[in-house]
Amino acid sequence: MSKIDLVMTVPLPPLIIDGLERDFTIQKLWLADDWEALLDKIAPGVRAIAAAVPILAQDRVWPIDAAFMSRFPNLEIVANLGVGYDNIDANWAKDHNIAVTNTPDVLTEETADTAFGLMLNTVREFSAAERYLRAGKWLQQPYRLTASLKDRTLGILGLGRIGKAIACRAEGFGLKIVYHSRNKAQGVDYPYYPDVLSLARACDILMVVVPGGPETRNMIDVDVLKALGPDGILINIARGTIVDEPALIEALANRTIHAAGLDVFANEPHVPEALLALDNAVLLPHVGSASVVTRDAMSQLVVDNLVNWSKGAPLLTPV
């Protein structure tokens, strides 16, 4: 059986490349000197794309949008490394009978751990305290007293797979939990708020776990930050686009909110200088799912979806 032409837009893990090489001819777009010429040459034969959330490759981010997908007249599937697929125009793909797969579930617990670690770190200032120690400042005086998780309410924006796993951890820490999603979540009795503004008013720590994309763009805006208040803390583990970044920087600088913990940014991997300069922001380089075991499980799911598709077997995780 001849191999299937597949375009890989960004450098994906070796486990994916090794897993696909038997059945697919992989065109590594980021390695091409002249990617336009390469695309023109290979486009008619391409039936599959393997992609990931925007990663800079050759100074370019490759959104899998209508313009990109329409270059491949015989495209049948886009397999994404990541549960979030806001890098793909899934509606356009659906309208053109192109399947899209993602990697849900296998990263849920890891991302919830990261979210929880980021929250603890932001509230108790552990990374700032460590920098203080390393700078020899403890010799002069103890580190300042911090905010606390005690008696606080956690507002979860998006009580889906990861949101529920975060709630599970929060229960163990004795936090009160409230939430907002478009629909009430099944099987939980946490208080539900019908919109993000009322959620922000009701909580002390706002945890963002909704998908990215046009529907949630700038959902955390000036008004939500104001509603969170001067003791409020924002944690974003979802997508940078969900937060109005300039408004957040202003709120942190003016202390109209207390602090923020961010794993994701509007224009990754670029982080605004103004954010880097703030001592009440804890910043992580999009490491939510980034452990060896979890990335391997995600990679294997990308391979299994594509190999299943190549054999005409059911997709494991279509979106």
177 near ligand NAP (CB under 6 A): no
List all residues 6 or more positions away from 213 whose beta carbon is below 8 Å from its beta carbon.
Answer: 86, 239, 241
- Residues in binding contact with ligand NAP, number by CB under 6 A: 28
The residue among 19 and 261 lying less far from ligand NAP, judged by its C-beta, is 261
Residue 169 binds ligand NAP (CB under 6 A): no
For ligand NAP, the binding residue among 237, 247, 252, 257 (CB under 6 A) is: 237
- CA within 13 Å, CB half, 137: 10
Q: In the numeric block, which tokens belong to residue 37?
A: 């010429």
Stretch that binds ligand NAP, among 59-67, 176-184, 248-256, 302-310 (CB under 6 A): 176-184
Interacting positions 89-148 with ligand NAP (CB under 6 A)? 104, 107, 111
Residue of 54, 158, 232, 240 interacting with ligand NAP (CB under 6 A)? 158
161 binds ligand NAP (CB under 6 A): yes
The CA R_g of the chain, rounded to the nearest whole Å, is 21
Tokens of 4: 């299937």
Measured between alpha carbons, how far is 9 from 18 in angstroms, rounded to an integer? 16
180 belongs to the catalytic site: no
The continuous run of DSSP H or E covering 309 comes out as helix 292-310
Q: Which residues, numbered 64-83, are part of the site for ligand NAP (CB under 6 A)? A: 83
Cβ at position 187, least distance to ligand NAP in Å: 12
* Cα distance between residue 184 and residue 170, in whole Å: 19
User: How far is the C-alpha of 44 from the C-alpha of 30, rounded, in Å?
Assistant: 19
The helix/strand/coil state of 129 is helix
Is 200 a binding residue for ligand NAP by CB under 6 A? The answer is: no
* String of DSSP letters for 38-64: HHHHHGGGEEEEEEES---BTTB---B
- State which residue has the least CB distance to ligand NAP: 160
Please tell me which residue in 152, 169, 180, 239 is annotated as part of the active site: 239
* Shortest distance, position 131 Cβ to ligand NAP, whole Å: 23
Copy the structure tokens of residue 192. 């539900």
Contact 6, 50 (CB under 8 A): yes
- The residue (of 42 and 53) whose beta carbon lies closer to ligand NAP is 53
* Residue 239 bears catalytic tag: yes
Catalytic residue flag (residue 125): no
Q: Which one among 2, 141, 183, 254 touches ligand NAP, defined by CB under 6 A?
A: 183
The span from the CA of 176 to the CA of 153, in Å, is 5
The catalytic site residues sit at: 239, 268, 286
Residues forming contacts to ligand NAP in the complex (CB under 6 A) are 83-84, 104, 107, 111, 158-163, 181-183, 209-212, 215-216, 237-239, 263-264, 286, 288-289
